Amino acid sequence: MRIRPCLLALPLLALLAACSPAEKPGPAGPVNATARVADIPVAYTDIPGPGPAVVLIHGWNCDRGFWRFQVPALTGGHRTLLLDLPGFGASGKPEIAYTPELFASAVVAVMDAAKVGKAALVGHSMGFTVAREVARRHPGRALALVSVDGVLEHGADDPAASRESMAQVAAFLDALRQDFAGTTAAFVESFFVEGTTPELRREILAGMTGAAPQPAISAIEHLFAPDLWRVEPLDLPVLGVYADTQWLAPDTEAFFKRHFPRAEFTVMTGVGHFLHMEKPDQVNRLLTDFLGRLKG
């Protein structure tokens, strides 16, 4: 696989501390609320701001709290929504199929509940797949997309690469079913680099290994379906920010721009898959510069 999904779960208190009045989140401060999709409660936080709305979408086995380093950089200039995807964080976890379509519908449900018509969708890892699905399935709702080391796969347009990817996924799923916590821990460890601090390693591992197994396994089962990854170019502004690691294929930028012809693409060095947590200031500069050039 080209780029793997991840992320962690963090207490909501950490998020709220990050967007305290001292960080100037807006006149009303953050509001925690619940939307519904397919009768599943979807927990989200709404932080007022003057600029175009931004929705932050977490990755596999995480929750909205992992964006805590981005919240202070965004809330002075943007309406900011953060959600827990169904199956993760404080959202409902029924034993159902957790598909990219369901996740995309959850994002739209949160936007509807918050009365946000259009937003820039920022996704980390699996969260970028969800952002892309919103743009594909719900035209007019995505102002722009941002990929923070997001998942991007070969699909039915490249059968050989797709078969190889699916074989890797099948082996990963078998391991998850036999030992969810152990397999998840080994998987996450592969994304750390020398500069990943011990504190961050412990935090990420604790969050990811503590996720609910059924939603997590179901999400992987549906994330790599070949038809999901057919090349269907999207005509909107897109920013790709990727880590220069073993998972980054030499042709990733060209491959990315096949899907997103208007994309800007940046590679960061000295970081792992959790680049937005390892070097948040650099990621925040890239993000706010890109968002500042959008016209909502």
pLDDT per residue of the chain (296 residues) written in tens, 0 to 9: 343 433 333 333 333 333 333 333 333 578 999 999 999 999 999 999 988 999 999 999 999 999 999 999 998 899 999 999 999 999 999 999 999 999 999 999 999 999 999 999 999 999 999 999 999 999 999 999 999 999 987 665 666 666 777 888 999 999 999 999 999 999 999 999 999 999 999 999 999 999 999 999 999 999 988 788 889 999 999 999 999 988 788 889 999 999 999 999 999 999 999 999 999 999 999 999 999 999 75
Could you give the maximum distance between any two Cα atoms of the chain, in Å?
54
The 3-state secondary structure of the chain, one letter per residue: CCCCCCCCCCCHHHHHHHCCHHHCCCCCCCEEEEEEECCEEEEEEEECCCEEEEEEECCCCCCHHHHCCCHHHHCCCEEEEEECCCCCCCCCCCCCCCCHHHHHHHHHHHHHHCCCCCEEEEEECHHHHHHHHHHHHCCCCEEEEEEECCCCCCCCCCHHHHHHHHHHHHHHHHHHHHCHHHHHHHHHHCCCCCCCCHHHHHHHHHHHHCCCHHHHHHHHHHHCCHHHHCCCCCCCCEEEEEECCCCCCCCHHHHHHHHCCCEEEEEECCCCCCHHHHCHHHHHHHHHHHHHCCCC
Which of 169, 100, 97 has the alpha carbon at shortest distance from 129? Answer: 100
Number of domains within the chain: 1
The boundaries of the domain holding residue 238 are 12-292
Q: Is residue 283 part of a domain?
A: yes
Q: Is residue 3 part of a domain?
A: no
Q: Is residue 285 part of a domain?
A: yes
Q: Is residue 6 part of a domain?
A: no
Q: Is residue 7 part of a domain?
A: no
- With 0-12 CB in 10 A as exposed, 13-18 as middle and 19+ as buried, what is 104? buried
Q: Is residue 4 part of a domain?
A: no
Q: pTM (2 decimals)?
A: 0.89
Q: Is residue 277 part of a domain?
A: yes
Q: Is residue 214 part of a domain?
A: yes
With contact defined as beta carbons under 8 Å apart, do 138 and 284 qualify?
Answer: no
Q: What is the CATH number of the domain that holds 211?
A: 3.40.50.1820
Report CA 68 to chain centroid distance, whole Å. 13
